[in-house]
Amino acid sequence: MTERPPEPPLPEPRWYDPGRRDPLARPPRTGRADKGRGGRERRGDGRLLAWVALIAAGAGAAGAAVVLVLGMLVLGAGAGSGTAGSPVPAPAARTVELSAVTAAVDAVSPAVVTITTRAGDGALVAADPFALPATGVGSGIVYDASGLVLTSRHVVCDADALTVRLKDGRELAATTYGIDTLTDLAIVRIAGADDLPVAPIGDSSGIRPGQVAIAIGSPLGTYTNSVTSGVVSATARELTVDDRCGSGMRRTLRGLIQTDAAINPGNSGGALVDIDGRVIGVNTAIEGGSEGIGFAIPIAIARPLMRQAAAGAPLTRPWIGIVHEPITPALADRAGLPVDHGVLVALPAGEAGSAVIPGSPAEAAGIRDGDIVLAIDGVRIDAAAPLDLLLTDHAAGDTLALDVLRGGETIVLRIVLGVRPAQG
């Protein structure tokens, strides 16, 4: 009779999908033998199963069935204990995820506020005394004890009156301190504020896909201080959105954090938080018609504005004055470009005119249409370090060196940064 080769042992059952390991769970212990009751080392069940299989292989069909059944009974009796039939105490409950996420929420949630806006009071009442003013709702993050709140531009840009509601129930009047001219951010100031909770501010420069992300905000304006969690899905994303602030223009937001933590209307301006309880982003948008695709502006892009407001200065952004397209490997291949990084100075296809804005710092520095700007002060421009993000490290009036590829040669141009106009 031909001997049958031993069958491999069956995998152990699991209560969860092992393909998505809990990022907060403790790593398994290594270098120690698993012991049952009384400190006795449990011998490997795999070796016992192998002996059973070998015996079964030489026992014939009927004998094999009996041996295998007996083997399974032996394994069942000994797999869970050091002594047959003796139960092993369940391992201590692992509370790493619960404690870490709740601690992060406890640190930030008191400083996440609900912002209610009212627009058009005077004009509406004059035209129709029975008309109600338009109202909106969003979220914000108290980052300074003087009453400064970081939020989304589209939450407050058209508001005539603002009310900020804290987690502790207080409702306070507020005003718009300033609007970002680069991206979807704004600063709000709470009037007569004292004893305000302040959110810890983190560093978004080192975040990586797969790390835990927690979104806190007021979805739909009803479920205040709601918490959802997920992971950072990607970084350096780009999204083009309709400008909700009356310009009628399309705005491109760059350098965004993508997350699968649920973000809903009303979450705009709320906090994206890391597992250490620090704000790493400002929730701003979701991909329409999708689930689990939300975006946040990295806190690194917001930080210069936060500092300006804390110092009592107007909100400004440095400006070069070019229309550009980030170069990706796909664009380089499609357009036959000699490099796969930097930005191409060019208008969108079909538009006439120059991509260098007249009277801009770029025009004064000698930048031309078709140039490829490769680096700023020696820092390479690419998906991980987009042009807009690199510029946030500088201020208007700074002089920078631009590495520019033109006609197959790299030249260096000196440029003095200007102030970005409201619609620049």
pLDDT digits (tens, 9 = 90+) for 184-241: 999 999 988 889 999 999 999 889 999 999 999 998 878 899 999 999 999 989 888 8
Matching CATH number, 212-299, of 2.40.10.10, 3.40.190.10, 3.90.1300.10, 3.40.50.800: 2.40.10.10
Residue 120 Ramachandran class (φ > 0 left, ψ -120 to 50 alpha, else beta): left
How many CB atoms lie under 10 A from the CB of residue 105? 19
- Residues paired with 114 in a beta bridge: 139, 165
If you write DSSP's letter for every residue of 19-30 in order, what string do you get?
TS--TTSPPPP-
Q: pTM score, two decimals?
A: 0.73
Phi then psi for residue 107, to 5 deg, are -75, -35
Instruction: Give the model confidence (pLDDT) of 61-109 as tens digits.
Output: 334 333 333 333 333 444 444 444 455 554 444 455 678 999 999 999 9
Name the active-site residue from 109, 139, 152, 154.
Answer: 154
- Selected catalytic residue, list 139, 144, 152, 184: 184
**Fold for the domain defined by 318-419:** Pdz3 Domain (2.30.42)
Domain extents for the chain? 1-26+40-85, 212-299, 318-419
Q: Is 369 a catalytic residue?
A: no
Under 8 Å between Cβ of 389 and 354: no
Q: Is 154 a catalytic residue?
A: yes
Q: What is the pLDDT along the chain (424 residues), one digit of tens a residue?
A: 445 555 544 443 322 222 333 333 333 434 443 444 344 444 444 443 333 333 334 444 334 333 333 333 333 444 444 444 455 554 444 455 678 999 999 999 999 999 999 876 544 334 444 444 567 899 999 999 999 999 999 999 888 899 999 999 999 999 999 999 899 999 999 988 889 999 999 999 889 999 999 999 998 878 899 999 999 999 989 888 877 776 667 778 888 999 999 998 889 999 999 999 999 999 999 887 778 899 999 999 999 999 999 999 999 999 999 999 999 999 999 999 999 999 999 998 888 999 999 999 999 999 999 999 999 999 999 988 889 889 988 999 999 999 999 999 999 999 999 999 986 4
- Per-residue tokens: 196: 């305000």
Annotated catalytic residue 17: no
For 410, half-sphere exposure in the C-beta direction (CA atoms, 13 angstrom radius) is 11
Q: Which of 109, 139, 233, 268 is catalytic?
A: 268
At 208 the three-state DSSP class reads coil
- What single-letter DSSP state applies at residue 322? B
Q: What's the CA gap between 307 and 303, in Å, rounded?
A: 6
**Residues 374/335, Cβ–Cβ less than 8 Å:** no
